[in-house]
């Protein structure tokens, strides 16, 4: 796939389990901001080309685009080596963190693979249930609560790992606050159902605010 993690956000957390580039085989770790970078490079021509005729403007932008491609071609080997070295270091760090987590919870590789398969199956079955659920139904409310809870935990877990700018982190923080309000509303609706088991709001808030190293993303 040519979509990046940033540009391939699904409409809900459980859809991301199936369709996000994080969970696709053979997907690179680049941001995929090539189009934005090219547009930023060509934007410097705005002050000069706006007074040109259409053919002259097209020629000027073409020359700048060719210059961009030439610069990328000359620096390609350096960029690929730097990217490869960064990815290797990230793999080592992620593998070390995974090993520490497995030792802490006494989890083997076979158990970990089983969990991954269970999560994928859980997301697939959930998508079918949500698509056929009746609005206000207990099952639909339960799935919505699980989806919002998972989405908030994932965003809080990756906010300082995926985003290195305060503006983007602020947007994610606002999104978390919005989803948290929706989560509390769904829990209130769920608790009002006579056939539903009551959900402890205090426990949910404590799990959402947990920042300990052993805090799992997935709800237990």
Q: pLDDT tens for residues 51-99?
A: 889 999 999 989 998 998 899 899 989 988 988 898 899 889 989 988 9
pLDDT of 187 > 80? The answer is yes
Residue burial 86-113, b: 16+ Cβ < 10 Å; e: rest: eeeeeeeeeeeeeeeeeeeeeeeeeeee
Q: CB–CB of 15/127 below 8 Å?
A: yes
Confirm if 217 and 154 have CB atoms less than 8 A apart.
Answer: yes
Q: Is the pLDDT of residue 27 over 70?
A: no
pLDDT over 70 (residue 100): yes
List pLDDT tens digits, range 101-134. 888 888 888 988 898 888 888 777 765 555 555 5
Query: Do residues 144 and 186 make contact, with C-beta atoms less than 8 angstroms apart?
Result: yes
> Which pLDDT score, from 0 to 100, does residue 59 have?
92
Averaged over 20-48, what is the pLDDT? 75
Residue with the bigger pLDDT between 44 and 32: it is 44
Q: Inform me whether the pLDDT recorded for 135 exceeds 70.
A: no
- State yes or no: pLDDT of 217 exceeds 60: no
Backbone angles phi, psi at 171, to 5 degrees: -65, -40
Q: What is the pLDDT of residue 33?
A: 66
Most confident of 130-134, 163-167, 199-203: 199-203
Tokens of 115: 């969990």
The Cα 11–Cα 20 span in angstroms is 10
Question: Computed from CA positions of residues 44, 50, 52, 56, in that sequence, does the dihedral angle turn out positive or negative?
Answer: positive
- How far is 141 from 204, CA to CA, in rounded Å? 15
Chain-wide mean pLDDT for the chain? 78
Percent of the chain with pLDDT over 70: 77
Is the model more confident about 11 or about 122? 122
Give whole-number Cα distances, 80 to 26, 38, 72, 73, 74, in Å: 17, 18, 11, 11, 11
Torsional class of 197: left (φ above 0), alpha (ψ -120 to 50), beta (otherwise): beta
pLDDT on residue 79: 86
Question: Looking at residue 96, what is its pLDDT?
Answer: 92
């Amino acid at each position: 796939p040519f979509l990046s993690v940033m540009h391939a956000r699904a409409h809900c957390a459980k859809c991301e389990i199936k369709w996000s580039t994080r969970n696709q085989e053979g997907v690179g770790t680049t941001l995929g901001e090539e189009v934005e970078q090219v547009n930023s490079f060509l934007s410097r021509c705005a002050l000069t080309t706006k007074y040109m005729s259409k053919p002259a403007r097209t020629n000027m932008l073409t020359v700048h685009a060719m210059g961009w491609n030439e610069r990328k071609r000359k620096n390609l080997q350096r960029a690929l080596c730097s990217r490869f070295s960064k990815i290797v270091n990230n793999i080592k760090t992620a593998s070390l963190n995974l090993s520490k987590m497995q030792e802490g919870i006494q989890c083997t590789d076979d158990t970990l693979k089983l969990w991954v398969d269970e999560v994928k199956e859980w997301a697939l079955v959930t998508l079918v249930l949500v698509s056929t659920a009746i609005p206000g139904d207990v099952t639909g409310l339960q799935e919505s609560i699980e989806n919002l809870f998972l989405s908030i935990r994932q965003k809080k877990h990756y906010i300082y790992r995926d985003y290195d700018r305060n503006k983007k982190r602020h947007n994610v923080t606002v999104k978390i606050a919005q989803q948290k309000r929706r989560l509390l509303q769904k829990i209130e609706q769920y608790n009002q159902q006579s056939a539903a088991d009551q959900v402890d709001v205090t426990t949910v808030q404590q799990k959402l605010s947990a920042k300990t190293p052993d805090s799992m993303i997935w709800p237990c």
